[in-house]
Amino acid sequence: MADELETFRREVRDWLEANCPSEMRTPMRSEKDVCWGGRNFTFASDAQKQWLEVMAQRGWTVPDWPKEYGGGGLSPAEAKVLKQEMAALGCRVPLQSFGISMLGPALLEYGTEEQKLEHLPKIARGEIRWCQGYSEPNAGSDLASLATSAEDKGDHFLVNGQKVWTSYADQADWIFCLVRTDTSQKQGGISFLLFDMESEGVSTKPILLISGSSPFCETFFDDVKVPKDQVLGEINQGWTVAKYLLGHEREMISGMGGRAQGPSLSEYALGKLGRDEQGRLDDPVLRARIAMFEVRSHAFAAMSERFMDRLKAGRIHPAQPSMMKYYGTELNKDRHELLMAAGGSDALEWESESSGEGKAARAWLRTKANSIEGGTSEIQLNIIAKRILELPEG
Ligand SMILES: Cc1cc2nc3c(=O)[nH]c(=O)nc-3n(C[C@H](O)[C@H](O)[C@H](O)COP(=O)(O)OP(=O)(O)OC[C@H]3O[C@@H](n4cnc5c(N)ncnc54)[C@H](O)[C@@H]3O)c2cc1C
């Protein structure tokens, strides 16, 4: 088994060497380098397009999905080897999407065969980009209070209502959306719908953020017709699907706490502040904070690896993604606080060319959202208290 894995590792390395364009082996410079795919996506370069195509052809945009749905059919151990070899060569992730990290797992678990065959290969090839219609103006942390209605019209639903904070809704092709199909029950009256954002009656309005970008929208539904076969799972059982998907979303967001590409925090701080006579970072307070951060960061990396192994083996507690999400996002916020502290006033530059148009400051502000998106830190702590520590309700 170990021999087979080593053979596989060599094959993967050779294949990556031969097929990953050199431009795709450099760290991403900004969000603009992320390949999201979709009908409206404009590739940043030919190399980016080529990298997506060769990886999708091999099924390696979603290495552990079954081959019949566009995946690579790799075992968890093989998928891990691929990830390690890509990291060793500095290969960029060829495709990032909510289809891969959120909807795909839910489709694999709850989809009909027709739904899987229709949607999964298009996600794997980066042809269709999905957005997530969960939150509403009066339903965020208390998501089950959602009010967007889906009225039963025989062969279809008529959807009316509003979502908010819908990331990239103005660029997405399809939405996975929570709607109310029964007003007599809270969780038990929710269904999980899939529909095209080009359907008549769907409109979006981008929301401008403090960071200067506009990554999410208000999304409005005005008599949108959705065929009944586009319900994922059973009617009125959407809460079960929604929670399953949230586990995968939280797992994905927790990854932000992982070690970033490029120089480590210590290397960056040394470059900015220099060394004292003993060769240490020339700022004792920051040195202590960075040392503590590095310890926590290594501990989190070790815990993440164990978590992923157990997840792939189907052996995690259902509330464990909340633990990972809480710690990973708080860690990522700390990392950017320290980067700003080490960078001094230069790091606050907002528009100059030398600062990469405020790359550090904008990234720092963006991390503030990490502990809100996918459920706030307070909500994760409530889940951990209730479901893992089994504490009584406060
Ligand atoms: C960057 C970003 C991207 C997002 N993308 C999407 C998306 O694509 N699709 C989507 O549907 N949503 C998205 N969201 C929305 C996100 O899921 C919600 O913002 C989040 O669930 C919190 O809901 P809320 O904003 O309504 O805050 P509220 O629920 O109003 O919470 C306000 C404050 O009260 C606290 N609070 C609330 N209830 C409790 C409680 N019971 N115990 C303790 N504290 C509590 C919260 O922790 C928070 O600090 C995104 C959010 C961000 C920041």
pLDDT in tens, 363-391: 898 899 999 999 999 999 999 999 999 99
Whether the per-residue pLDDT at 351 is higher than 90: the answer is no
Half-sphere exposure of 347 toward its Cβ, with a 13 Å CA cutoff? 18
374 C-alpha to center of ligand 1: Å? Answer: 7
379 C-alpha to center of ligand 1: Å? Answer: 9
Measured from the Cα of 163, ligand 1's closest atom is 11
pLDDT value for 257: 67
Task: Give the start-to-end residue ranges of the domains of the chain.
Answer: 2-96, 130-240, 258-388
Distance separating alpha carbons of residues 250 and 102, to the nearest angstrom: 9
Q: What is the pLDDT of residues 100-119, one digit of tens each?
A: 999 999 999 999 999 999 99
Whether the per-residue pLDDT at 210 is higher than 80: the answer is no
Q: Given this structure, which CATH class describes domain 2-96?
A: mainly alpha
Assigned superfamily of 130-240: Butyryl-CoA Dehydrogenase, subunit A, domain 2 (2.40.110.10)
b/e map 318-327, b = 16+ CB within 10 Å: ebbbbbbbbb
Whether the per-residue pLDDT at 172 is higher than 70: the answer is yes
Distance separating alpha carbons of residues 320 and 10, to the nearest angstrom: 34
**Contact assessment for residue 282 and residue 135, using Cβ atoms and an 8 Å cutoff:** no
Distance separating alpha carbons of residues 372 and 269, to the nearest angstrom: 28
Return the minimum-mean-pLDDT range out of 146-150, 273-277, 304-308, 384-388: 304-308
Pocket residue to mutate for ligand 1, from 373, 383, 391, 393, most atoms within 8 A of Cβ: 373
Domain 130-240 and domain 258-388, same fold? Reply is no
Q: Assign residue 380 a region: left if phi > 0, alpha if psi is -120 to 50, beta otherwise? A: alpha
What architecture is domain 258-388? Up-down Bundle (1.20)
Whether the per-residue pLDDT at 207 is higher than 80: the answer is yes
pLDDT value for 258: 65
Cα→Cα distances 391→250, 316, 327, Å: 22, 20, 19
Measured from the Cα of 131, ligand 1's closest atom is 8
Cα→Cα distances 334→271, 292, 326, 360, Å: 19, 11, 12, 13
**Contact assessment for residue 224 and residue 194, using Cβ atoms and an 8 Å cutoff:** no
Catalytic residue of the set 78, 85, 136, 249: 249
For 200, other C-beta atoms within 10 Å of its C-beta total 9
Q: What is the pLDDT of residues 41-100, one digit of tens each?
A: 999 999 999 999 999 999 999 999 999 999 999 999 999 999 999 999 999 999 999 999
Pocket residue to mutate for ligand 1, from 145, 376, 378, most atoms within 8 A of Cβ: 376
pLDDT value for 211: 67
* For range 327-355, the mean pLDDT: 91
